[in-house]
A and B are shown apart, each in its own frame.
Chain A
Amino acid sequence: MALLSVNNLSISFGGLRAVDDFNIQIKKGQLYGLIGPNGAGKTTVFNLLTGVYRPDEGIVLLDDKNITNLKTMDINKCGVGRTFQNIRLFKKLSVLDNVKVGLHNRFHYNTFEGILRLPKYRRLEKMMNEEAYRLLEVFDLDGEAKLSAGNLPYGKQRKLEIARTLATNPKLLLLDEPAAGMNPNETKELMETIRFVRDNFAMTILLIEHDMKLVSGICEELTVLNFGKILISGETNAVLNDSRVITAYLGE
């Protein structure tokens, strides 16, 4: 059974059909890639899935639950976490606090308990710290916990963004070009991290990527978008060797 099932998703901006009849089925535990040339509509698909845009048509089902027209925050509560192409961290907050904001909806105490520092505040803050440090250790960021997030080197910022999203305990993780701007070494390390996350957090991952090495290295299945339409979907090697895909990327 598919964890994420998207049927007939479409959106237009003015006269431009940015995404047209997009379909995808992602099984639990799968590492799925979404590729395509610049401007193909990949990020628009992510924005549709996370409620940043409302689709004109189509249905998005997560675990058989319709999340199509929900708000961004509610979609996250249903279990969709995402990262951004251009990193969006809380730059002035510390690395630790970035992850703790991610834990927001998992540890509840109210404003008065917070202001008056009641025992529940102390207990839950301690639990949040432990949980946040556990996540930071996974990404080898625990040494930088007290730095402000904006001061981290680029590669670590990417990792922190993933850690923050994982803190919300999602079922499905959407990664928008996680390797953008990384050197080959960092990309390799990132591949390991993504695999590790999939295995250790039992995560289902959909990622947008340009780096073909990364895609062919870790994705089991691919969907190729071109001009908002699906060009081809299927098993990774078959897709990458398809003549239509090569044409879309390299031209005739």
Chain B
Amino acid sequence: MKDKLKKMPKTWLDNLITYGMVIIVFLLVQMFISRGLVSNLLQGLLVPLCVYVILAISLNLTVGILGELSLGHAGFMCIGAFSGAFFSKVMADIITVTAVRFTLAILVGALFAGVFGFLIGMPVLRFRGDYLAIVTLAFGEIIKNVVNALFVGVDSRGFHFSLKDSMSLGLEADGDVIIKGALGIIGTPRNSNFTVGIVLVLITLFIVLNLINSRDGRAIMSIRDNLIASESIGINVTKYKLMAFSISAALAGVAGVLYSHNLNSVAATPKNFGYNMSIMILVFVVLGGIGNIRGSIIAAVVLTLLPEMLRGLNNYRMLIYAVVLIAMMLFNWSPQILAWREQHSIKDFLRKRRKVQ
């Protein structure tokens, strides 16, 4: 009995490889930067990379762990980005310590996105079927368009909202328009940097990986594998679906805050918070392997860097991108390659080496 307990599945080793991978990449990049080996273009990509990695991990929680399809993840990112930036702008003079303000902004972004995830999930996740995909698809578009038309100002009397223009806010002389419709929020403090990004990636990983390997995570995965059986052994299906989806939305909100604090201004355009963005995150998740957190990270990094690295090749760029997409798809989904990977996995390699020692 006892030695059996010692031979528990070594999920922690698996997780350790994932954390280690992120930290090693971080250290390598820092080393290259200090030696001046990293171009400005690449340095500018570091924070967006962290944003995409967080988004991919969080979407994998919904798609891979919960088994529901979300097509509006960029919408939650949008909510996080705007609520976080709004908080930072309003509190710029009140909380002067950057670290505290930025931490709070991240929490605010996560909270708002999480609440929206909860509100959307509450009616939809009671159904069985692909309703979540349809509703989140609509939600992503609606949020983007609403934010595009939203004007929010603040003066001594408090906050003012309008969907028309900044004049109709009726601000007093001391007032300030914070969200300017299609112009978005101008003048967000640029608090994001690569280190903060990596810390947030690690926190996201910590939350998601530990959740998966806990009582709640098992319940969530049991719903994915067989909803009827899960109910029959007393799992509160709606509760755990909502929990997973809200956490996923909140983490997307964190990515949004990181994104908005990396720019001087943030506006909702189809490019950053639109449908294409949602699909791109989904591509990271699918090509990285559904339910495979480490795979999502790698896919997000590779597929973000690739088009930038290949800029010199002009027209051939998208051709190579397409070939890489196909190669990754084969690597993660072809039965033969999966069998080969099972035989030659890093985990087994490490285990064998330890036995030899």
A216 at the B interface (CB under 8 A): no
User: Across the interface, which residues of B come within 8 angstroms of A164, CB to CB?
Assistant: 233
A180 to chain B, nearest CB (A): 16
Main secondary structure of the interface of B (DSSP, over half): helix
B327 at the A interface (CB under 8 A): no
Q: Is the CB of A129 within 8 A of B5?
A: yes
Given known contacts A93-B221, A111-B243, A129-B8, is B214 in contact with A77 (CB within 8 Å)?
no
A142 to B210, CA, bound (A): 25
Q: Is the CB of A114 within 8 A of B229?
A: no
A4 to chain B, nearest CB (A): 16
Q: Name the residue of chain B whose CB is nearest to the CB of A133.
A: B4
User: Across the interface, which residues of A come within 8 angstroms of B231, CB to CB?
Assistant: 71-73, 76
- Size category of the B interface is 20 to 34
Given known contacts A73-B236, A115-B210, A168-B233, is B226 in contact with A94 (CB within 8 Å)?
no
Given known contacts A90-B222, A114-B216, A115-B211, is B234 in contact with A105 (CB within 8 Å)?
yes
Query: Which of A77, A111, A125 is B216 in contact with, Cβ under 8 Å?
Result: A111
B41 at the A interface (CB under 8 A): no
B255 at the A interface (CB under 8 A): no
B172 at the A interface (CB under 8 A): no
Q: Name the residue of chain B whose CB is nearest to the CB of A110.
A: B216
User: Across the interface, which residues of B come within 8 angstroms of A89, CB to CB?
Assistant: 225-226, 229
Q: Name the residue of chain A whose CB is nearest to the CB of B237.
A: A73
Q: Is the CB of B234 within 8 A of A77?
A: yes
> Looking at the complex, which of A15-23, A80-88, A198-206 is the stretch in contact with chain B?
A80-88
B7, B233, B291: which has the most chain A beta carbons within 10 Å?
B233
Hey, what's the 0/1 contact readout for A102-119 against B, CB within 8 Å counting as 1? 101101010100111100
User: Across the interface, which residues of B come within 8 angstroms of A74, CB to CB?
Assistant: 234
Which residues 128-144 of A have a CB within 8 angstroms of B? 128-130, 133, 142
Q: Is the CB of B218 within 8 A of A104?
A: yes
B312 at the A interface (CB under 8 A): no
A96 to B5, CA, bound (A): 11
Known: A90-B225, A101-B233, A124-B215. 20 other contacts (CB 8 A): A72-B231, A73-B235, A76-B232, A84-B228, A88-B229, A88-B232, A89-B225, A91-B226, A100-B215, A104-B233, A107-B215, A109-B215, A111-B211, A111-B243, A114-B217, A121-B214, A128-B215, A142-B4, A145-B4, A167-B233
- Sample of 12 A–B contacts (CB below 8 Å): A73-B231, A73-B236, A74-B234, A92-B291, A93-B218, A93-B225, A101-B218, A104-B219, A105-B234, A115-B210, A117-B210, A130-B5
